[in-house]
Structure 1
């Protein structure tokens, strides 16, 4: 982390490039190949790649945040620090380069969960402490000396949480809860998706559940931007969101309902995506998937999305979670974490009809079905997985880079199996299509929390979620003390950069 509290303003205040799915040239990376991933207290990285540690639970986000003391945490100090969990949401980059020539960006990271047993020495935290450890962090990034670093006290660095004032319709509501999904839009905003608010509203007195469970929109480059919760996108337990433009310039937002049997939704705005209110009015539809055919079924305006989706005949999916739009082609990837019927999960590719994301239909194809090679559930492309390599199980997040490669992160729910959760690179075209190759293996008890790719393509940012959280673990007896490995210091969720 480098220290600076300056107006990186001119460069970072520029709007995002509002051209959907425009692939940018990216430099070649170190190739991926077969790689076994053992379960261990440390993490693993593919040959030819380096891992940089950028931010950990308790590191300061706000320039005036207090120093972290895990043995004596307080809500006021934690509200300015990086939260307990870490899920990469999006990387916003300015359209115009800075005058000093240094590449910069704003990385959005969600803090969707808090496990009191792992977060507090006594295994229990006050409602105020629980609230302070969740939310989202916006981090200024800067490329220096060939690698990306977090600018300590950067101008756009910001901590969002229960104290954040938000707009909701003609009124307001205090707080963002359980942010677990997000994306940057082509019209220059950041979307933050709230998950199921039930965990929080049952533990924090005075919260009205009706104010939470939305998608909020804000300007990532304006530290004074007030998030607006977009009721037209529906209120339900969101897994992720992805945004693009229809051929006629309208906003298109895909949303997952992260439950077993949950739905995939699509919102198409009533007007062009050119103003602050583009997501205030439009049509919400649910996906019906029949074999390789996808049909978008419009839902009644103002209806409860989940009830209306079921009544319309929407397809219940195997815990639909992560979403990733290909910047070069009109296709969407959907990571389904799994269900009792298909416990290992899978990744589906949806291609918009006629190349238009607002079209009434799409086609669907299986990218891969996860699980041990040779099992009845597993299905991989090409010649299959190379012998001796780790395999994906319970894909939870997916990101597509400008070279047409998907980065899929797994989350087995803190089980302690024969291999760790990992980040896999998967080709979307060519003879190796659908063959996941491991890039990174998380430490014991950790899940992989999403990915974002630097503008030059040389670094992949990923989140390491709740390391050490094996079954039965607690603050004083974790499954690992990654990344500090110091006696008395608990394991810490973190953001890392992988350079190849």
Structure 2
């Protein structure tokens, strides 16, 4: 694809000249303050695609946020959303452009879902999970299709299979997809989902009918889950060959000879990064490696694939000296397969630095770029560099932004590459409103203004950015605005904002948006 700007006009203007600089920020000091409403980057138009309570099926009950039911939670767009994948279904005879959007739905906090803050576990279990939504392009805009062919929910009630070497120990079936933090489309047409730490969900759902209180059920969560979103009857499969660990994100690609490769990160303030290289095209056998600091980057050290090592993957990685990153999160791979990007959210508890974690006592975060020699995702060594060190460039130590940057950020969490090769960074400060707004930011990855940062979208107060995905044909970026109004002290009755409606009789709603130029 010929490189062309998908970015806002302001960022396009940054491509002219300038020497490499650190901590460069030329924007006004008040542009990124959290507010009741959102803020759209120059050159973009924003539309609402879907939001919490929106109908997914034509027979779904209306959204009544003051009295949520299991039926509502099962048939409406859920409370929280992170973009996992955007796929193109086969072209229909009517010629209408269509997409299938897959979102992970990680959280359902009682304080924000229920008027009195009293938990309703049956509702919460259906609010979390995964959502598949059909989109179609009509009259120059993307809209949801209520009751679309692929539209479905995966949640605590979804039957799943398990496959691979640990099936004999953990079992071959399990009820539920829990604590999904992220996901990735695969080159072979499926979607991978990253289950995180399900322990809090197992405790919360313990009194429900699916046996979550049984001790043996714990080992059936924390896996990479694969399903076909284009087939509404497909059964999700949990792949034990990729090990069991709380994951923050997952990314799929292939080697040049067609073997499947999966990168994933540990969901922890002090977490590791792993790689699975399949023996063939399936994910039932292969080799897991952990990233270990070495030379000018990382070396991939192979791990044992016996069942105890797979089930206890965290300990297995620590034993061989896996590199500890500061809250590793989102992953993104350049279109040519030559660069892998990792978002690190920061860790204030770090006391010793290294080349890939540059600051002690900082929770601002940074972004790491790995070079894949020969664009080979199975290479044994990846050179690495820091391409962004986050934080307020006026007050934070050691920040690094490219020349001509018009924005700054904290706590990068989600990454995506747009059709022009620019890196989109979604931030998540966990509701902290004291420093800057969360949002979607764009960083140029090549050219004279390499590293230049601008914002495409700033979320309302209490919200986080749940990633981005792109449709090159319509020059559309899709983004997820997570849990607006959910500051640490907020509740259903007293949110920090009631975005997007700003109506006093409506709660704040997680919203899928489109950004077009």
Q: Normalising by structure 1, what TM-score?
A: 0.90
1:28 shift after superposition: 4.6
- Cα distance 1:41–1:56, how it changes in 2: closer, same or farther (>3 A)? same
1:326 shift after superposition: 1.2
State how 1:264-279 maps to structure 2 within 5 Å: 264-271=273-280, 273=281, 278-279=282-283
**149, 152, 156: which one pairs with 1:158?**
152
- Secondary structure at the aligned position of 2:145 is classed as strand
Does 2:427 correspond to 1:399?
no
**432, 435, 439: which one pairs with 2:456?**
439
Partner residue, 2:20: none
Q: Contact 2:389 / 2:401 at 8 angstroms: preserved in 1?
A: yes
Provide the rounded CA distance (Å) in 2 between the counterparts of 1:289 and 1:456: 40
**469, 492, 495: which one pairs with 2:509?**
492
Partner residue, 2:255: 246
1:42 shift after superposition: 0.5
Q: Contact 1:262 / 1:319 at 8 angstroms: preserved in 2?
A: yes
Provide the rounded CA distance (Å) in 1 between the counterparts of 2:59 and 2:193: 24
Unmatched segments (≥5 aa) in structure 2: 12-26, 349-359
Provide the rounded CA distance (Å) in 2 between the counterparts of 1:467 and 1:30: 24
Partner residue, 1:20: none
Further displaced range: 32-41 or 262-271: 32-41
- Secondary structure at the aligned position of 2:441 is classed as strand
State how 1:405-420 maps to structure 2 within 5 Å: 405-420=422-437
Residues paired across the two proteins, number:
468
**60, 65, 72: which one pairs with 1:70?**
65
- Secondary structure at the aligned position of 1:242 is classed as strand
1:347 shift after superposition: 0.7
Partner residue, 1:315: 323
Does 2:293 correspond to 1:289?
yes
Q: Contact 1:218 / 1:226 at 8 angstroms: preserved in 2?
A: yes
1:486 shift after superposition: 1.5
Does 2:332 correspond to 1:324?
yes
**322, 339, 354: which one pairs with 2:347?**
339
Provide the rounded CA distance (Å) in 1 between the counterparts of 2:92 and 2:4: 20
1:292 shift after superposition: 2.7
Provide the rounded CA distance (Å) in 1 between the counterparts of 2:8 and 2:301: 43
Provide the rounded CA distance (Å) in 1 between the counterparts of 2:2 and 2:232: 28
Q: Contact 1:161 / 1:176 at 8 angstroms: preserved in 2?
A: yes
- Cα distance 1:457–1:347, how it changes in 2: closer, same or farther (>3 A)? farther
**60, 84, 96: which one pairs with 2:79?**
84
Provide the rounded CA distance (Å) in 1 between the counterparts of 2:446 and 2:419: 13
Provide the rounded CA distance (Å) in 2 between the counterparts of 1:363 and 1:116: 44
Does 2:32 correspond to 1:48?
no
1:88 shift after superposition: 0.9
Provide the rounded CA distance (Å) in 1 between the counterparts of 2:85 and 2:295: 31
Q: Contact 1:182 / 1:193 at 8 angstroms: preserved in 2?
A: yes
- Secondary structure at the aligned position of 2:301 is classed as strand
Partner residue, 1:5: none
Partner residue, 1:128: 122
- Secondary structure at the aligned position of 1:216 is classed as strand
Further displaced range: 122-131 or 28-37: 28-37
1:215 shift after superposition: 1.1
Unmatched segments (≥5 aa) in structure 1: 1-22
After superposition, the CA RMSD in angstroms is 1.6
1:358 shift after superposition: 1.0
State how 1:255-270 maps to structure 2 within 5 Å: 255-270=264-279
- Cα distance 1:26–1:50, how it changes in 2: closer, same or farther (>3 A)? same
Q: Contact 2:5 / 2:420 at 8 angstroms: preserved in 1?
A: no
- Cα distance 1:291–1:335, how it changes in 2: closer, same or farther (>3 A)? farther
- Secondary structure at the aligned position of 1:117 is classed as helix
Partner residue, 1:6: none
1:291 shift after superposition: 5.6
Further displaced range: 176-185 or 141-150: 141-150
- Cα distance 1:415–1:294, how it changes in 2: closer, same or farther (>3 A)? same
State how 1:147-296 maps to structure 2 within 5 Å: 147-169=141-163, 171-205=172-206, 206-207=211-212, 208-271=217-280, 273=281, 278-290=282-294, 292-296=296-300
Q: Contact 1:368 / 1:435 at 8 angstroms: preserved in 2?
A: no
Q: Contact 2:419 / 2:472 at 8 angstroms: preserved in 1?
A: no
Q: Contact 2:132 / 2:153 at 8 angstroms: preserved in 1?
A: yes
**360, 367, 372: which one pairs with 2:387?**
367
